[in-house]
Amino acid sequence: MTTPPSSHDIARAKYLILGAGPAGLTMAKMLADRGVDDVILIEASGKVGGKCLSSEIGDHVVEFGTCYAIWSHKYILKQMKKLGIKRNYLRAQRIDDRELMDYIRDGSGPSFFWQVFKYLRLRGRLMAKADANDPEVNDLLAQPTSDWLRAHNLGKIEHMMHRVVTSIGYGYLNRLPLIHAFRWVDFNMMLTGLLKFTVMPDGGWQRFWDRFAEGLDIHLNQRATKIVRAASGIRVVTENGSEFIGERLINTIPLDVFNQLTHPSKAETRVAEAIDWGGYTTSLLSVADWPHDVPVNSWSATCATDANDGQILFSRIECEDEDGRTLVTVGQLSAAYEPDELTELARFSAQERGAVDPRIVQQVVWSYMPTYKAGAIRDGLIAAMAAMQGENNTFHTGASFSHEAVSTISSFNAQLLAKVAP
Ligand SMILES: Cc1cc2nc3c(=O)[nH]c(=O)nc-3n(C[C@H](O)[C@H](O)[C@H](O)COP(=O)(O)OP(=O)(O)OC[C@H]3O[C@@H](n4cnc5c(N)ncnc54)[C@H](O)[C@@H]3O)c2cc1C
């Protein structure tokens, strides 16, 4: 990693990558693996890894941001192996303190395996046409996930999504457009549930990303404030006056922020306006007693299709604090609540779930889950997002172009690579 250049330094490379979160880092590594190493990453903060925040309590790591890898994280799992980083397997996960499979079976409709087969077949057909700008497909992908599941009598899949979509903070199924559920819940996701394969990198995600980033040319503490894109090349200016000059730009930061730094194209303006950024809050609670002994638990009442924002969606038991109280991580959809309201809601909701004397140790409010407006999906947003790649020698990736997960981001980058470095 490169230390910040002093002010007015100029650095040049063929490829400039804006942001050293999972999208920027995996793209840089994929380029390097193709023999392209003329790449600079420009990162605003003092660390790599983006929305990952590993906090150490003794020898235990609490993850406030990026948490798990599942079967879908094939690229990341391979990298963990290469780096010799052990996987810590997550033990039992339940919903209402029951086996997830029992809760899934309570859903309506035919057998679960039949529903999985039907869901994957219908999903496959629709996703194959997602980029085609077919008005019928656009309409289907724009509708609320629960409407589509109910129309196809997939009640058990709806129950499964309460755990694998809503409890993770991707949204309530009566509001979440189908395209988002489809992007996340694929064959690999289903396999994860059946094999109970959920892992965390030993030592935490920050350590993983630090190791992953070794050898890449990363400029930390360089917040881009201006981007000029001309036929002669691309110039990125940062807040301390440094300049980065290149031929191609790979943008990983939210498009609304990006557009404020440059003259956006029509497509960039259209896509930024079509995205609503949601919020997610992670809190570490210290409780005198916690009645749920399973390591990770969720609640059907708070993850239900039409539940309310702000309630706790899951809990993860961490360790004991020095006073012998239990430390538990919980997550909430932040919606429009202020941080102090979220604190109150987290405590109240935890008490409702049996927590005795819950106290907030630490709370982090994230900008999370870029969600497409239904009207924009109907108007051909997905096709427009694919078509704009390469315009002004700029390529866009990251959570808003794939989905809010490291697995989908790295798979998206693997596809985009053919356009970025043909
Ligand atoms: C609470 C939580 C739990 C999660 N759990 C999981 C999980 O279990 N599994 C999983 O796969 N994913 C998980 N995620 C999602 C995953 O962390 C994100 O999808 C991923 O970090 C997004 O990567 P990105 O590179 O698109 O964006 P980011 O991670 O946001 O990275 C963007 C980078 O760009 C930098 N930047 C911003 N503006 C500028 C600028 N002007 N100039 C230069 N740099 C800039 C930022 O500092 C940041 O480092 C979780 C996220 C959260 C918040």
Q: Whose CA is nearest to atom 53 of ligand 1?
A: 65
Q: Is the pLDDT of residue 405 over 80?
A: yes
Q: Is the CB of 370 under 6 A from ligand 1?
A: no
pLDDT value of residue 1: 57
Question: How close is the Cα of 212 to the center of ligand 1, in Å?
Answer: 15
Interatomic CA distance for residues 333 and 41, integer angstroms = 31
Question: How close is the Cα of 110 to the center of ligand 1, in Å?
Answer: 38
pLDDT value of residue 8: 63
So where are the chain's domains?
Answer: 10-51+204-265+388-420, 93-195, 277-372
Average confidence (pLDDT) over 41-48: 98
Q: Whose CA is nearest to atom 30 of ligand 1?
A: 50
Q: Is 277-372 the same fold as 10-51+204-265+388-420? A: no
Q: Is the CB of 220 under 6 A from ligand 1?
A: no
Average confidence (pLDDT) over 120-125: 98
- Atom in ligand 1 nearest the alpha carbon of residue 48: 49
Contacts of 389 (CB under 8 A, 6+ apart): 395, 396, 416, 419
Per-residue pLDDT tens for 309-344?
A: 999 999 999 999 999 999 999 999 999 999 999 999
Average confidence (pLDDT) over 25-52: 97
SS3 315: strand
Q: Whose CA is nearest to atom 21 of ligand 1?
A: 51
pTM of the full structure: 0.96
Tokens of 131: 């980029």
Does domain 277-372 bear CATH number 3.30.70.1990?
yes
Per-residue pLDDT tens for 182-241?
A: 999 999 999 888 788 899 999 999 999 999 999 999 999 999 999 999 999 999 999 999
Which CATH number is 93-195 given? 1.10.405
Q: Is the CB of 158 under 6 A from ligand 1?
A: no
Alpha helices by DSSP H, 353-405: 374-378, 381-387
- To 10 degrees, the CA torsion angle through 219, 213, 366, 295? -160
Question: How close is the Cα of 210 to the center of ligand 1, in Å?
Answer: 14
Q: Which residue shows structure tokens 């982090």?
A: 364
Question: How close is the Cα of 21 to the center of ligand 1, in Å?
Answer: 5
Task: Name the architecture of domain 10-51+204-265+388-420.
Answer: 3-Layer(bba) Sandwich (3.50)
- Atom in ligand 1 nearest the alpha carbon of residue 404: 19
Packed helices 406-420 and 74-82: angle between N→C axes, nearest 10 degrees: 90
Residue to substitute in 41, 227, 404, 413 for testing ligand 1 pocket (most ligand atoms within 8 angstroms of CB): 404
Quote the DSSP letter at residue 56: E
Q: Whose CA is nearest to atom 15 of ligand 1?
A: 405
Per-residue pLDDT tens for 167-183?
A: 999 999 999 999 999 99
Q: Is the CB of 255 under 6 A from ligand 1?
A: no
Q: Is the CB of 278 under 6 A from ligand 1?
A: no
SS3 351: helix
Three-state SS string over 237-287 comes to EECCCCEEEECEEEECCCHHHHHHHCCCCHHHHHHHHHEEEEEEEEEEEEE
